[in-house]
Structure 1
Amino acid sequence: MRTVSFTLNISIDGYCDHTMSAPGEELMDYFTGTMEDVDLLFFGRVMYQLMFPYWSDVAKDQSGTAAENRFAERFSAIDRVVVSRSLDDSNDANTRIIRGNPAAELLKLKQQPGKKISVDSVSMLPELIAAGLIDEFNLVVHPVIVGKGRLLLPPGSLREQLDLKLVNTIHFESGCVALHYLRQG
């Protein structure tokens, strides 16, 4: 069975916002490394539209820094599944749109042969955790307090506590800390 990994940037006060800071070379290389064993990205519409076509354009034009270009090439080459009721077409051969029941769809994908599946959707996270589908969490904590935005998990969104085991910590010169957790049990 495939491993499902949830990867996200987060502020010290628990908000998820990719615009809170600009990642440097070191952080971009870290994110590229997290994609090495991934062969499927599982997005909600909002995150998908934030990431694409931006990163595919960077990969095509080589318009970023060296580290951004490496990330863009790797990231945009991976197949994608997007959960959306409103997105009509992705205009992208690597992207498949599903209309509902993300937990059931992710379970099917998890049971297929392949490498890791990377999930990047805060809106679906409580449902996917409740279904027992997230095996590991890669959280990059940024040294900022933003005070607003979308929380990693809304209060009361989990029915029961999820116990995790910290397996790796990476400290970056920027003050960011990458935390890698595995689900216990």
Structure 2
Amino acid sequence: MTQPLLYGINTTLDGCVHHEAGLPPDAQSMAFWTDELRRSDSLLYGRVTYEMMQVAWRRPASGEWPEWMDADDVPFAAVIDAMPKHVASTTLDAVDWNAELLGADLADAVRRLKERPGRGISLGGVQLPAALATAGLIDEYTFVVHPVVGGRGPRLLEGIRDQLRLELVARREFRSGASVQRYRPVL
């Protein structure tokens, strides 16, 4: 049995996935995303997301979390900082932050990751998930849909050419008005 590849992302009503387009995170959403990470044993990012997350969530050499983090951010930061990471990139020569670079054949590299024992691989980002969805490698999609129209920026799974049929398997509302929608591919 293979471990599932679990894609999760914040999106606006118009499908904008730019990390600054939705509502600011609150205690409820940070707790949700922390729990989502805990469903997996490792993370899979492309270069852009890896670098963005590393800047925001890597524990500083001092061991002290930055002053901008509040009590709601620290559990998420601690989980993401400690998790093993896999990075899909053709431009990076090396990675650190408990990470490894994947081979040049992305689909094959992800299939091999999925064959390893584990609870799951948490997938984040914009371009990489579209490529993996096209290859039929994502087992679950979790979208936190914020009640705003972003109006600009990259769109959810932009670039997919063929229809992707999904079945809603769970739904949850946040006090902020955002809703969590969890889907699995219809085979």
Q: TM-score, normalised to structure 1's length? A: 0.91
Cα deviation digits, residues 36-90 of structure 1 (max 9, x gap): 2211111000111110032123794233122210011111111001111222332
> In structure 2, which of residues 69, 75, 84 is the aligned counterpart of residue 70 of structure 1?
75
Aligned to 2:36: 34
Aligned: 1:182 with 2:187: no
Report SS of the residue matched to 1:70: helix
> In structure 2, which of residues 55, 58, 70 is the aligned counterpart of residue 56 of structure 1?
58
Percent identity over the alignment is: 32
Cα deviation digits, residues 128-165 of structure 1 (max 9, x gap): 1222210100101111111110011335x233x22211
1:93-112 equivalent positions in 2, closer than 5 A: 94-112=98-116
Of Structure 1 and Structure 2, the greater strand share is in 1
Could you list the structure 1 runs, at least 4 aligned residues long, displaced by more than 6 angstroms after superposition: none
Aligned: 1:150 with 2:154: yes
Cα deviation digits, residues 113-135 of structure 1 (max 9, x gap): 11210111321223212222101
- Structure 2: gaps spanning 5 or more residues: none
Report SS of the residue matched to 1:115: coil
Shift of 1:101: 2.2
Task: Give, in whole Å, the separation in 1 of the partners of 2:99 and 2:30.
Answer: 23
Task: Give, in whole Å, the separation in 1 of the partners of 2:25 and 2:60.
Answer: 15
Aligned length: 182
Amino acid in structure 2 at the alignment position of 1:15: C
> In structure 1, which of residues 122, 127, 137 is the aligned counterpart of residue 141 of structure 2?
137
CA contact (8 A) 1:58 1:72 kept: no
Amino acid in structure 1 at the alignment position of 2:74: N
Task: Give, in whole Å, the separation in 2 of the partners of 1:126 and 1:54.
Answer: 23
Shift of 1:105: 0.7
> In structure 1, which of residues 113, 117, 122 is the aligned counterpart of residue 121 of structure 2?
117
Aligned: 1:25 with 2:33: no
Amino acid in structure 2 at the alignment position of 1:18: H
RMSD, aligned CA: 1.8
Task: Give, in whole Å, the separation in 1 of the partners of 2:60 and 2:13.
Answer: 29
- Structure 1: gaps spanning 5 or more residues: none
